Chains A and B, each alone.
Chain A
Amino acid sequence: MDFDLTGIDGQPIDPKSLQGKAVLVVNVASKCGLTPQYEGLEALQKKYGSERFTVLGVPANQFAGQEPGTPEEIQQFCSTKYGVSFPLTEKLEVNGPRQHPLYKQLTAFADADGKAGEVEWNFEKFLVSPAGDVVARFRPTVAPDDQQVTGAIEKVLSA
Protein backbone atom coordinates (compact mmCIF):
# COMPACT_ATOMS: atom_id res chain seq x y z
CA MET A 1 0.00 0.00 0.00
CA ASP A 2 1.69 3.10 -1.26
CA PHE A 3 0.05 5.81 0.84
CA ASP A 4 1.23 8.18 3.52
CA LEU A 5 -0.58 7.09 6.65
CA THR A 6 -0.43 8.56 10.11
CA GLY A 7 -0.98 6.41 13.16
CA ILE A 8 -3.46 7.08 15.93
CA ASP A 9 -0.48 8.33 17.96
CA GLY A 10 0.19 11.05 15.41
CA GLN A 11 3.36 9.43 14.16
CA PRO A 12 3.79 8.33 10.53
CA ILE A 13 3.13 4.65 9.92
CA ASP A 14 6.30 3.20 8.45
CA PRO A 15 5.33 1.92 4.98
CA LYS A 16 7.74 -0.96 5.51
CA SER A 17 5.53 -2.20 8.35
CA LEU A 18 2.81 -2.97 5.77
CA GLN A 19 4.87 -3.82 2.69
CA GLY A 20 4.78 -7.47 1.71
CA LYS A 21 1.87 -8.17 4.06
CA ALA A 22 -1.73 -9.03 3.48
CA VAL A 23 -3.63 -6.19 5.14
CA LEU A 24 -7.26 -6.26 6.24
CA VAL A 25 -8.27 -2.60 6.26
CA VAL A 26 -11.31 -1.91 8.44
CA ASN A 27 -12.99 1.40 9.24
CA VAL A 28 -13.74 1.21 12.94
CA ALA A 29 -15.89 3.06 15.46
CA SER A 30 -16.21 2.85 19.23
CA LYS A 31 -19.94 3.49 19.67
CA CYS A 32 -21.47 1.24 17.01
CA GLY A 33 -23.58 -1.87 17.37
CA LEU A 34 -20.86 -3.61 15.37
CA THR A 35 -18.07 -2.43 17.70
CA PRO A 36 -17.79 -5.92 19.29
CA GLN A 37 -16.29 -6.96 15.94
CA TYR A 38 -13.05 -5.65 17.44
CA GLU A 39 -12.92 -8.96 19.28
CA GLY A 40 -13.00 -10.92 16.03
CA LEU A 41 -10.51 -8.61 14.37
CA GLU A 42 -8.08 -9.06 17.22
CA ALA A 43 -8.60 -12.82 16.95
CA LEU A 44 -7.62 -12.61 13.26
CA GLN A 45 -4.56 -10.61 14.22
CA LYS A 46 -3.59 -13.26 16.76
CA LYS A 47 -4.31 -16.15 14.38
CA TYR A 48 -2.69 -14.81 11.21
CA GLY A 49 -0.66 -11.85 12.41
CA SER A 50 2.94 -12.37 11.63
CA GLU A 51 5.35 -11.04 9.13
CA ARG A 52 2.73 -11.61 6.40
CA PHE A 53 -0.60 -10.29 7.77
CA THR A 54 -2.05 -7.46 9.77
CA VAL A 55 -5.36 -5.81 10.45
CA LEU A 56 -5.26 -2.05 9.95
CA GLY A 57 -7.99 -0.15 11.81
CA VAL A 58 -9.14 3.17 10.41
CA PRO A 59 -11.25 5.24 12.82
CA ALA A 60 -13.94 7.18 10.97
CA ASN A 61 -16.68 9.44 12.29
CA GLN A 62 -18.89 9.69 9.18
CA PHE A 63 -21.43 7.10 10.25
CA ALA A 64 -23.82 8.71 12.72
CA GLY A 65 -20.83 10.21 14.47
CA GLN A 66 -20.04 6.94 16.21
CA GLU A 67 -16.31 7.61 16.50
CA PRO A 68 -16.33 10.98 18.28
CA GLY A 69 -13.35 10.49 20.59
CA THR A 70 -9.89 11.96 20.60
CA PRO A 71 -7.02 9.78 19.40
CA GLU A 72 -6.12 9.09 23.02
CA GLU A 73 -9.69 8.06 23.84
CA ILE A 74 -9.91 5.79 20.81
CA GLN A 75 -6.58 4.17 21.58
CA GLN A 76 -7.46 3.64 25.23
CA PHE A 77 -10.87 2.20 24.35
CA CYS A 78 -9.35 -0.28 21.91
CA SER A 79 -6.59 -1.46 24.18
CA THR A 80 -8.61 -1.56 27.41
CA LYS A 81 -11.85 -3.04 26.13
CA TYR A 82 -10.60 -5.30 23.33
CA GLY A 83 -6.86 -5.65 23.81
CA VAL A 84 -6.26 -4.46 20.28
CA SER A 85 -2.71 -5.09 19.15
CA PHE A 86 -3.04 -4.21 15.47
CA PRO A 87 -2.20 -0.71 14.21
CA LEU A 88 -4.77 2.08 14.00
CA THR A 89 -4.48 5.10 11.76
CA GLU A 90 -5.49 8.59 12.68
CA LYS A 91 -9.16 9.38 12.15
CA LEU A 92 -9.83 9.49 8.39
CA GLU A 93 -12.70 10.23 6.05
CA VAL A 94 -13.54 7.13 4.02
CA ASN A 95 -16.28 8.65 1.81
CA GLY A 96 -17.03 12.03 0.30
CA PRO A 97 -15.10 15.12 -0.71
CA ARG A 98 -12.28 14.58 1.77
CA GLN A 99 -11.98 10.85 1.17
CA HIS A 100 -8.46 9.64 1.93
CA PRO A 101 -6.54 8.39 -1.15
CA LEU A 102 -6.33 4.94 0.44
CA TYR A 103 -10.10 4.74 0.34
CA LYS A 104 -10.26 6.06 -3.21
CA GLN A 105 -8.41 2.90 -4.17
CA LEU A 106 -10.29 0.59 -1.82
CA THR A 107 -13.80 1.72 -2.71
CA ALA A 108 -13.16 1.20 -6.42
CA PHE A 109 -13.18 -2.51 -5.64
CA ALA A 110 -16.52 -4.30 -5.81
CA ASP A 111 -17.92 -6.62 -3.16
CA ALA A 112 -19.12 -10.19 -3.85
CA ASP A 113 -22.36 -8.79 -5.29
CA GLY A 114 -20.45 -6.68 -7.78
CA LYS A 115 -21.14 -3.41 -5.98
CA ALA A 116 -18.28 -0.90 -5.72
CA GLY A 117 -18.45 2.63 -4.37
CA GLU A 118 -18.91 4.15 -0.98
CA VAL A 119 -18.29 2.45 2.32
CA GLU A 120 -21.72 1.52 3.70
CA TRP A 121 -21.05 1.70 7.42
CA ASN A 122 -18.56 1.07 10.20
CA PHE A 123 -16.54 -2.15 10.03
CA GLU A 124 -16.44 -2.60 6.26
CA LYS A 125 -13.44 -4.76 5.41
CA PHE A 126 -11.03 -4.69 2.48
CA LEU A 127 -8.34 -7.32 2.02
CA VAL A 128 -5.17 -6.11 0.31
CA SER A 129 -2.69 -8.70 -0.93
CA PRO A 130 1.02 -8.66 -0.10
CA ALA A 131 1.53 -7.32 -3.64
CA GLY A 132 -0.67 -4.34 -2.78
CA ASP A 133 -3.76 -5.32 -4.77
CA VAL A 134 -7.26 -5.14 -3.31
CA VAL A 135 -8.54 -8.70 -3.54
CA ALA A 136 -11.72 -8.83 -1.46
CA ARG A 137 -14.34 -6.59 0.09
CA PHE A 138 -16.70 -7.56 2.90
CA ARG A 139 -19.64 -5.46 4.00
CA PRO A 140 -20.01 -4.46 7.65
CA THR A 141 -22.31 -7.27 8.79
CA VAL A 142 -19.88 -9.95 7.55
CA ALA A 143 -18.19 -10.91 10.81
CA PRO A 144 -14.41 -11.16 11.01
CA ASP A 145 -14.64 -14.88 11.74
CA ASP A 146 -16.92 -15.53 8.76
CA GLN A 147 -15.52 -18.18 6.48
CA GLN A 148 -15.61 -15.69 3.61
CA VAL A 149 -13.08 -13.55 5.47
CA THR A 150 -10.85 -16.27 6.86
CA GLY A 151 -10.93 -18.15 3.56
CA ALA A 152 -9.83 -15.07 1.64
CA ILE A 153 -7.03 -14.37 4.12
CA GLU A 154 -5.79 -17.95 3.94
CA LYS A 155 -5.97 -17.93 0.15
CA VAL A 156 -3.95 -14.76 -0.15
CA LEU A 157 -1.40 -15.96 2.38
CA SER A 158 -0.93 -19.26 0.57
CA ALA A 159 -0.46 -17.65 -2.83
Chain B
Amino acid sequence: MSEQLKTSEVKVGDKLLSKDGTELTVTRIDPTFLTFDGMMAFVEDSDQQWFKMPAKIDSEVTVLSRG
Protein backbone atom coordinates (compact mmCIF):
# COMPACT_ATOMS: atom_id res chain seq x y z
CA MET B 1 0.00 0.00 0.00
CA SER B 2 1.50 3.32 -1.06
CA GLU B 3 1.61 6.56 0.88
CA GLN B 4 2.43 10.17 0.09
CA LEU B 5 5.39 11.50 2.03
CA LYS B 6 7.31 14.76 2.04
CA THR B 7 10.65 14.49 0.27
CA SER B 8 12.38 15.26 3.57
CA GLU B 9 10.89 12.09 5.06
CA VAL B 10 12.26 9.78 2.38
CA LYS B 11 15.23 7.67 3.45
CA VAL B 12 17.74 5.50 1.64
CA GLY B 13 16.11 2.10 1.17
CA ASP B 14 12.61 3.45 0.56
CA LYS B 15 10.91 2.32 -2.63
CA LEU B 16 9.39 5.18 -4.64
CA LEU B 17 7.06 5.32 -7.60
CA SER B 18 8.14 7.72 -10.32
CA LYS B 19 5.45 9.57 -12.30
CA ASP B 20 6.30 7.47 -15.34
CA GLY B 21 5.54 4.28 -13.40
CA THR B 22 9.11 3.24 -12.67
CA GLU B 23 9.74 1.88 -9.19
CA LEU B 24 13.07 2.81 -7.65
CA THR B 25 14.69 1.85 -4.39
CA VAL B 26 16.56 4.90 -3.19
CA THR B 27 20.28 4.33 -2.76
CA ARG B 28 21.26 8.01 -2.79
CA ILE B 29 19.59 11.35 -2.13
CA ASP B 30 21.09 14.30 -4.00
CA PRO B 31 20.35 17.61 -2.23
CA THR B 32 20.51 19.51 -5.52
CA PHE B 33 19.39 18.89 -9.08
CA LEU B 34 21.37 20.46 -11.90
CA THR B 35 21.33 24.24 -11.50
CA PHE B 36 17.65 24.44 -10.54
CA ASP B 37 16.76 26.13 -7.26
CA GLY B 38 14.46 24.22 -4.93
CA MET B 39 15.05 20.87 -6.56
CA MET B 40 16.61 17.64 -5.35
CA ALA B 41 16.84 14.11 -6.71
CA PHE B 42 16.39 10.52 -5.64
CA VAL B 43 18.66 7.97 -7.29
CA GLU B 44 18.71 4.19 -7.46
CA ASP B 45 22.24 3.16 -8.35
CA SER B 46 22.19 -0.57 -7.78
CA ASP B 47 22.93 -3.86 -9.51
CA GLN B 48 19.31 -3.87 -10.67
CA GLN B 49 19.06 -0.47 -12.28
CA TRP B 50 20.22 3.12 -12.46
CA PHE B 51 17.37 5.63 -12.35
CA LYS B 52 17.07 9.25 -11.26
CA MET B 53 13.88 10.95 -10.11
CA PRO B 54 14.07 14.68 -9.40
CA ALA B 55 11.58 16.33 -7.07
CA LYS B 56 10.76 19.74 -5.71
CA ILE B 57 12.07 20.16 -2.19
CA ASP B 58 9.16 19.85 0.25
CA SER B 59 6.87 18.31 -2.36
CA GLU B 60 5.23 14.92 -1.79
CA VAL B 61 6.31 11.71 -3.45
CA THR B 62 4.70 8.29 -3.64
CA VAL B 63 6.38 5.79 -1.34
CA LEU B 64 5.57 2.15 -2.06
CA SER B 65 7.46 0.73 0.91
CA ARG B 66 9.84 1.90 3.62
CA GLY B 67 13.38 0.61 3.62
Contacts and interface: CB of A to CB of B under 8 A. Distances in A.
Given A95-B45, A120-B34, A141-B35, A62 B54 contact: no
Contacts, number: 45
A159 interface: no
Given A64-B52, A64-B53, A96 B22 contact: no
A139 B46 CA distance: 23
Interface residues of A, number: 18
Contact of B48 (A65, A68, A97, A140): A97
Interface string A64-103: 1110100000000000000000000000010111110000
Interface string A40-78: 000000000000000000000011111010000000000
Contact of A68 (B20, B33, B35, B51): B20
A63 B44 CA distance: 11
Contacts of B45: 95-96, 118
Interface of A: 62-66, 68, 93, 95-99, 118, 120-121, 139-141
Given A65-B19, A68-B20, A121-B34, 13 more contacts: A63-B52, A65-B20, A65-B21, A65-B22, A65-B51, A66-B20, A93-B50, A95-B50, A96-B49, A97-B46, A99-B50, A121-B52, A141-B34
